[in-house]
Amino acid sequence: MTMSLAVGIDLGTTNSVVAVATPTGVEFALGPQGERVHPSVVSFPPGGGVVVGLDAKVRRAAEPETTIYSAKRLIGQNIQSPLVQLALTGLPFQVEEGPNQQPIIALHDRRLTVPEVSGHVLAHLKRCAERQLGQRVTQAVITVPANFSDGQRQATREAGRLAGLDVLRLLNEPTAAALAYGFGQRKDEVVCVFDFGGGTFDVSLLAIKDEVFEVLATDGDFFLGGDDIDRAVTEFLAAELNRQLAIDPRRDPGLMTRLTLAAEEIKCHLSGAAVAEGTIDGLLHQGRELHLPFRLTRVQLEGLINGFVERTLELTRQALTAARLEPRAVTEIVCVGGSTRIPIVRQRLAELFGREPAIRINPDEVVAQGAAIQAGSLSGALFQGPAMAARDAVPTAALSPLAHGGVPWAGAAAPARPILLDVTPASLRVATAGGYTEQILDRNLPTPIERTKTFTTARDHQTQVVLECCRGESRRFAENEALGRLVLEGLPPRRRGEVKIDVTFRVDGDGILHVHARDADTGIACEAQLQVLGAPTASP
């Protein structure tokens, strides 16, 4: 009988990584071309079939309308939210509104939910792991940004299910990074995990004591990442095209995609050089081939992205305040995500904390590594079972104890089971009269957690109550993010204030919110489930 393994997956906006932890250490699963980092891109070629990863990324320029990227920016989101509308501008593929206000990807011949797209990415990662390990992979821990909302978490779970994975746990990305950083190291530290990726920014402050990883505070913005920087540089290039060649590329998705790809290259180049200059060739516009000479300095780029960098620092300061920590109380800064390679980001971080960020951490792999440790811990494979060397059924390259430069444990065997203590990323509220809200759960509370508050009816003979739920820090409903509504029907018709309704908010270990309400006095069960806007429904 072949054993089935539990893997850890960092399902990123731009890139994904899959890893497995065993008694010897963590190993990363490679793609068909030997890549450790798998682009989160799914392409649907005209002839049928699905292409995922590196092979899909190269199709972006030629097939912009059927090559889907950055799906994580849309997953579990309410398409009507202004931030989603902003993310949609400039996307070369079609996104429409589906049932329950969820975004739907419209191709020529079919429509896909966002979890279906992400499901293809996850299925690809599963296949890569199975091919390399020579074993079936059925279970996974998948990471999500710490401030992912309920709908986004539910949709990510759904993507896992569609890929044929039993999702053991959704783990917050910064917590995963801290786990990889501190696991088995017998640390006694306060670390700041600063995760600036392709689509999202997360910052968490954690106390690590031996194998206990306690989140003290977390903050972030799931619309702040390399994609936004690329957009700023693309705008610069589009303006140059307009100035030099009198062409407005904004209505030409193919041309915009080419500029966006060039913008990302220029941005990455400027992390290592003071100037980027050259000519962008092979641009096509209305059948004409264009060449765009450009010159951008690092200082200019810093000017373009200053607002984004400032925002990451502001959120970091907020997290420090929430954790009641002075910057100098932080003993290590763990940089995660490709956008932390930008020198000004590291420089500003060093200024804030009075110390340089840790350098021995690989910002691309650390989240998957933490997810793999948690997966191995939950499945037990971390402590017993075959080490990598015993996998004699595996062909060629993967045979070495830790193939492809995996990460071995410091000691001879995997250390004790880690304990993760996470927190709620935002306050959860229900609407009250006059456009105000009542807070049920505060932010930065340890999870899992449950809290009940009692409400009464506002009118005589009221038999129905509608509870509008939202998350955010404002007392005004409209300034928060609407989550959905809970409808309680069949209440006994009494005088106002006589019917008492217990509303319970529970956040589980995955960070998923469960809301239910009950008529407390009569004992009549009025259970209801929150309908989360943007959450996946059966079919588009």
Ligand X SMILES: Nc1ncnc2c1ncn2[C@@H]1O[C@H](COP(=O)(O)OP(=O)(O)OP(=O)(O)O)[C@@H](O)[C@H]1O
Q: Active-site residue numbers?
A: 10, 72, 173, 195
Q: Least distance to ligand X from the beta carbon of 54, Å?
A: 13
Q: Least distance to Mg ion from the beta carbon of 126, Å?
A: 19
342 vs 467 by CB, closer to ligand X: 342
Task: Supply 24's token pair.
Answer: 């010897």
Q: Least distance to Mg ion from the beta carbon of 75, Å?
A: 14
Q: Residue 23's binding partner, choosing from ligand X, Mg ion, none, with beta-carbon cut-off 5 to 8 A by kind?
A: none
Sign of CA dihedral 533, 43, 196, 140: positive
Q: Residue 268's binding partner, choosing from Mg ion, ligand X, none, with beta-carbon cut-off 5 to 8 A by kind?
A: ligand X
174 binds Mg ion, rule: CB under 5 A: no
- How many Å apart are CA 226 and CA 507, to the nearest integer? 30
3-class SS of residue 230: helix
Q: Is 163 exposed, middle or buried (0-12, 13-18, 19+ CB in 10 A)?
A: buried
Task: Supply 384's token pair.
Answer: 């017993």
Let me know: does 315 contact 298? Beta carbons within 8 Å. Answer: no
| Omega before 448 within 30 of 0, i.e. cis | yes
Considering only residues 194 to 253 of the shown chain, the ones binding Mg ion according to CB under 5 A are 197
- How many Å apart are CA 481 and CA 383, to the nearest integer? 42
Let me know: does 377 contact 418? Beta carbons within 8 Å. Answer: yes
Considering only residues 10 to 69 of the shown chain, the ones binding Mg ion according to CB under 5 A are 12
Q: What is the DSSP letter of 457?
A: -
Considering only residues 327 to 356 of the shown chain, the ones binding Mg ion according to CB under 5 A are none
Q: Least distance to Mg ion from the beta carbon of 366, Å?
A: 9
Q: Residue 200's binding partner, choosing from ligand X, Mg ion, none, with beta-carbon cut-off 5 to 8 A by kind?
A: ligand X
142 vs 532 by CB, closer to Mg ion: 142
Residue nearest to ligand X (CB): 226
137 vs 144 by CB, closer to Mg ion: 144
Q: Least distance to ligand X from the beta carbon of 304, Å?
A: 13
How many residues in the shown chain lie near Mg ion by CB under 5 A?
2
Task: Supply 79's token pair.
Answer: 């398409």
- How many Å apart are CA 492 and CA 496, to the nearest integer? 11
24 vs 143 by CB, closer to Mg ion: 143
342 vs 440 by CB, closer to ligand X: 342
By residue count, the chain amounts to 540
Let me know: does 369 contact 180? Beta carbons within 8 Å. Answer: yes
Judged by CB under 5 A, the stretch of 6-14, 32-40, 94-102, 399-407 that binds Mg ion is: 6-14
Residue 342 backbone phi and psi in degrees, to 5? -70, 120
Residues 181-200 vs Mg ion: string with x where CB under 5 A? ----------------x---
Q: Least distance to ligand X from the beta carbon of 198, Å?
A: 3
- Order of strands, sheet of 67-68, starting from the edge strand that comes earlier in the sequence: 51-52, 42-43, 67-68
- How many Å apart are CA 166 and CA 269, to the nearest integer? 40
- CA–CA–CA angle 290, 292, 296 (5° rounding): 165
11 vs 95 by CB, closer to ligand X: 11
- How many Å apart are CA 308 and CA 536, to the nearest integer? 30
Residue nearest to Mg ion (CB): 197
Considering only residues 466 to 485 of the shown chain, the ones binding Mg ion according to CB under 5 A are none
Let me know: does 484 contact 512? Beta carbons within 8 Å. Answer: no
List of E strands, 29-164: 38-39, 42-43, 51-52, 67-68, 94-97, 103-106, 111-113, 136-144
Q: Residue 536's binding partner, choosing from Mg ion, ligand X, none, with beta-carbon cut-off 5 to 8 A by kind?
A: none
Q: Residue 271's binding partner, choosing from ligand X, Mg ion, none, with beta-carbon cut-off 5 to 8 A by kind?
A: ligand X
Q: Residue 338's binding partner, choosing from ligand X, Mg ion, none, with beta-carbon cut-off 5 to 8 A by kind?
A: ligand X
3-class SS of residue 134: coil
- How many Å apart are CA 279 and CA 264, to the nearest integer? 15
3-class SS of residue 335: strand
3-class SS of residue 350: helix
27 vs 364 by CB, closer to ligand X: 364
12 vs 511 by CB, closer to Mg ion: 12
Q: Residue 341's binding partner, choosing from Mg ion, ligand X, none, with beta-carbon cut-off 5 to 8 A by kind?
A: ligand X
Q: Residue 264's binding partner, choosing from Mg ion, ligand X, none, with beta-carbon cut-off 5 to 8 A by kind?
A: ligand X
Judged by the rule CB under 6 A, the positions of this chain that interact with ligand X are: 12-15, 72, 197-200, 225-226, 264, 267-268, 271, 337-339, 341-342, 364
Q: Least distance to Mg ion from the beta carbon of 9, Å?
A: 11
Q: Least distance to ligand X from the beta carbon of 226, Å?
A: 2
Interacting residue ranges for Mg ion, rule: CB under 5 A = 12, 197
